[in-house]
Structure 1
Amino acid sequence: MSSQEWCGQVFTQVNWRGKKYHIQSNSYFEKEGDAQTTVPTVLLEDELWNRIRLGPDGLPTGKVTLLPGLFYSRLLHTELKPQEVDITKKELSDSWLYTIQFEGKRTLAISFEKNFPYKILGWEEQFIERGNPVVTKATLIKTMRLDYWTKNKNEFNYLRDSLGLQR
């Protein structure tokens, strides 16, 4: 995960080597600087999205040790370390709702189709930052299968409208 901000660059990388994850972080923030650490092999929040799409039958539930997502950790400048979470998987009429309850009043709920290709239909994340509730919500509007790598010029902006995206 890398992040470019107005005043500098941050880069974090997680590599699995043997029985541990090796984490390398490089930051322009003086207090953070460059750091390397290891954590035991645990479930990664960032891997859950792929596991849902590949086949959600094996998704863990209950009390699980999990490494929080790199984006969240970066956004809130939290230490990247495993934590105990509580995970539930609830069957709805036409989808599944996979909910992770983290330490510190953070919740991530991911909605996805019951059948292959297990399309992610949306998600909602809630947490407290500086005493204020923060909610991020995303809902799938439409998908298109096309050769997106050739659609990288302004002449293809009309595709944003086709997807229901704002300009």
Structure 2
Amino acid sequence: MKYYSVIVIFLLLASCDEKNSQKKSQVSDSEWFREYWYKGNAEISSYDLQQAQYGKLNKGEAIMIFVTEDFRLDKQVKLESDNKELATTVLKLNFIKKFVTGIYDYSMYTSVFTPVQTNTFPSTLKVTNTNQEWCGQSFLQLNYRQNGYQLLGKSYFEEEVEEESHIDNAVLEDELWAKIRLLSIEELPTGNMFVIPSMTSLRLRHRKIQAEMAKISLEPYAGDSTFRGQSLIHYKISYPESKRDLSIFFEKEFPHQIVGWEETYETKNKLLTSKAVDIFNIFFL
């Protein structure tokens, strides 16, 4: 019953918002958004990756797959029945990183489920993360409930073996990739705020899953020709306490293609910068 109560609350909040503002326009309401994202195709982008780990940069590949689908609000899973009233449309991101450290393989897979109706559902509803390496495996899941995120984690490593807690609502780093595709540039989060770092970065650094104070900025890209695209934007998330920076580079005009990123943090007492540069971008059935 509690899941259905959540749906009722969401609907009531949506009704209040409509009365107060006659519904602020959102990108997902536009014809060009529907034409791009509602054809039943997935957008697949591939990136040449150099990932910092064990005190060096390791060659690999990253893939980002964006696709819209119906998502159940109660069970927080893909809708596979005809009960449309139980669901909302999300922009799903499957974010895959694979790299090799010597002969040591890493495979890291994150799925993010972010509603396209950003006025009604301002927060991402779910994130899952799995990591496989030669030591063992780990799993993380965040579900949006009770104005925050319910965390469930399992891991091969002793200090991460079993995690279950509630985290107060904060911006998710993992959702910013989808927000870039869903929001106008002016609506993207900026300023000083609490942010939960990406699940992949936390697992690579064996950090506790919790929000950190971060500074987020947005400006035209002023770098060299490493990242290619039309009128690029530099979106930067800095974490002073953990001394980690993430820079995402994307095109200013819709559909805001993500052309690459850089991530700087300490590994084995070395401050290294991971980098990903796009190779190709396609639509695939």
* Shorter-chain TM-score range: 0.7 to 0.9
Give the aligned partner of residue 256 of structure 2.
118
The offset of 1:143, in angstroms, is 1.6
TM-score by length of 1: 0.83
Q: Distance between the aligned counterparts of 1:66 and 1:21, measured in 2?
A: 12
Partner of 2:281: 143
- Partner of residue 153, structure 1: none
CA distance 1:7–1:127, change in 2 (3 Å): closer
- Counterpart of 1:98? 235
User: Aligned equivalents of 1:92 and 1:35: distance in 2?
Assistant: 39
1:51 to 155, 167, 179: 179
Q: Could you tell me which residue of structure 2 aligns to residue 21 of structure 1?
A: 149
Which secondary structure state, in structure 2, belongs to the residue aligned with residue 145 of structure 1?
Answer: strand
Which of 191, 199, 204 is 1:70 aligned to? 199
Q: Which amino acid counterpart does residue 121 of structure 1 have in structure 2?
A: V
Q: What's the CA shift for 1:59?
A: 0.9
Q: Distance in 1 between matches of 2:159 and 2:265?
A: 24
Q: Tell me which of 23, 41, 46 is aligned to 2:169.
A: 41
> What whole-Å deviation, never above 9, does each CA across 1:123-156 have from its counterpart, x for those lacking one?
0001112310121111113222233xxxxxxxxx
Q: Using CA pairs under 8 Å that are at least 6 residues apart, name the structure with larger relative contact order, 1 or 2.
A: 2
CA deviations 1:30-61 (Å, max 9, x no partner) are 23211101110100000000000112331111
Cα shift at 1:68: 0.6
Gaps of 5+ in 1: 148-167
Query: C-alpha offsets along residues 49-104 of structure 1, whole Å, 9 cap, x if unaligned?
Result: 00001123311111011001000000010011101001110024811100011122
Give, in whole Å, the separation in 2 of the partners of 1:128 and 1:86: 18
Instruction: Supply the AA of the counterpart residue of 1:130.
Output: K
Give the 5 Å matches for 1:77-92.
77-92=206-221
Distance 1:57 1:105 in 2: 27
Aligned with 1:117: secondary structure? coil
Q: 2: CA distance between counterparts of 1:138 and 1:116?
A: 21
**What secondary structure does 2:201 align onto?**
helix
Between the aligned partners of 1:53 and 1:38, the Cα distance in structure 2 is 28
**Higher percent of residues as strand:** 2
One-letter identity of the residue aligned with 1:145: F
**Deviation at residue 110 of structure 1 after TM alignment:** 0.4
Aligned to 1:5: 133
Partners of 2:221 and 2:249 within 8 A in 1? no
**Normalised by the size of structure 2, how large is the TM-score?**
0.50
AA partner of residue 28 (structure 1): Y
Amino acid at match of 1:88: S
C-alpha distance in structure 1 between counterparts of 2:257 and 2:249, whole Å: 9
Q: Percent identity?
A: 37
3-state SS of paired residue (1:71):
helix
Unaligned runs of 5+ residues in structure 2 are: 1-128, 223-230
CA contact (8 A) 2:216 2:235 kept: yes
Which stretches of structure 1, 4 residues or more, deviate above 3 A after TM superposition? none
